Amino acid sequence: MFRQIGINVRASAWKQVRFNSTNSTPALNWVDFLKLKKENHVMNITASVFTTLAGGVVTLTYLGNYEFDPEKPILGMDPIMMMGGGVVLGGFVGYLFGPTIGTSLFRLKNRSILKQFLQKDSIFLTKIKANRVDPSSQSFSNPVPDYYGEKIYSLKGYKQWLRDCNAYRRKTKEFL
């Protein structure tokens, strides 16, 4: 049909085109994976800030409406100090909920490539586990470089982490 209208098409070119493709998203490369990893971290930190403030405000609102006798100690301590500690504790509990909410938002936002992200994350963690150093000989002058690879958000950072791990190994061999 295409030859009739003047378009010369090789038969092998048609084999490369898939009209009913099930995978409409391109493969996730390492640069994009590390950007998504950083985005997940930023979302977790942001959610932690908001949940910390929300936990503190909710606790302060509850304790502000609670009637207590300011002259009677609570658990042997000054009631105002206990109320302040309760607000700090409420903020801390809110902080602990932050990463859960941040991860949920990240998964909801990136659900189209989530499967690829989780596969790359598994491969990344396997590479980190294979290349990390033995922390048994660490000291103040020779600390372990980012044992879990939590601060790696770029290929440049990963290469630097590998160099730091090799420098750590070299130092432990030379000074033991």
The residues, any chain, with a CB within 8 Å of residue 94's CB and separated by 6 or more, are 51, 52, 53, 54, 55, 56, 58
Residues in a beta bridge with 74: 77
Q: Is 82 helix (H, G, I), strand (E, B) or coil?
A: helix
At residue 24, the pLDDT reads: 60
Q: How far apart are CA 107 and CA 114, in angstroms?
A: 7
Kindly list the averaged pLDDT for each block of 10 residues, start to end, along the chain of length 176.
49 50 72 95 97 96 82 80 91 96 96 94 95 87 87 94 92 78
Q: How far apart are CA 89 and CA 85, in angstroms?
A: 6
DSSP state for residue 135 in the 8-state scheme = G
At residue 107, the pLDDT reads: 96
* Inter-residue contact 27 to 58 (CB < 8 Å): no
Residues in a beta bridge with 20: none
Task: Give, to the nearest 10 degrees, the angle between helix 30-64 and helix 114-131.
Answer: 100
Place of tokens 């932050």: 98
Q: How far apart are CA 152 and CA 34, in angstroms?
A: 8
Q: How far apart are CA 158 and CA 35, in angstroms?
A: 13
Structure tokens at 102: 């941040």
User: Chain centroid to CA 12: how far?
Assistant: 44
Structure tokens at 24: 């409409």
Specify the length of the chain in residues: 176
- Looking at this protein, which amino acid is placed at residue 107? R
At residue 82, the pLDDT reads: 86
* Inter-residue contact 105 to 47 (CB < 8 Å): yes
Task: Give strand ranges (E) for 1-124.
Answer: none
